Amino acid sequence: MELLQQVHRRAIKLVRGLEHLPYDDTLRKLGLFSLEKRRLHGDLITTFQNLKGTYREGREGLFIGNCSDRTRNNGYNLKEGKFGLDMRKKFFTMRVVRYWNRFSKEVVDAPALTVFKARLDKALNNLV
């Protein structure tokens, strides 16, 4: 277990009245995400910003879009881009693409970042 996760677990146990509950139940009661979900949450926000054009530099080849009007997907599925030796980018895309493609069209087509964050929170509660 990572050091950060150990610290997180100890801090959660300091909440009075919830110290007897398991870690996952305590997080649910407090309305918090686990560290894994928080990392995914940040990655998905970065992906949304990347696709909406916030990050202009280094955008080419990170994601390959597959636009479609089929009703079984969100209308904009992603595929991982191909990279030479820069493995971090590939790992980022592998982490994100699997979840992005599961979202409904409502989440993916958010008009602004604040709307996307609100919809993402609801979707992640149901998805992960």
Instruction: Let me know whether 69 and 89 are in one domain.
Output: yes
Residues 72-105 pLDDT 10s: 566 667 776 565 555 555 577 777 888 888 888 8
Which positions of the chain have pLDDT values less than 70? 1, 54-76, 80-90, 127-128
- pTM score, two decimals? 0.68
Counted domains in the chain: 2
Instruction: Let me know whether 37 and 26 are in one domain.
Output: no
Instruction: Let me know whether 116 and 67 are in one domain.
Output: yes
Helices (H), 1-128: 3-13, 23-30, 35-52, 87-100, 105-108, 113-127
Q: Which domain holds residue 5?
A: 1-32
Burial annotation 78-103 (CB, 10 A radius, 16+ → b, else e): bebeeeeeeeebbebbebbbebbeeb
Instruction: Let me know whether 96 and 60 are in one domain.
Output: yes
Mean pLDDT over the full length of the chain: 76
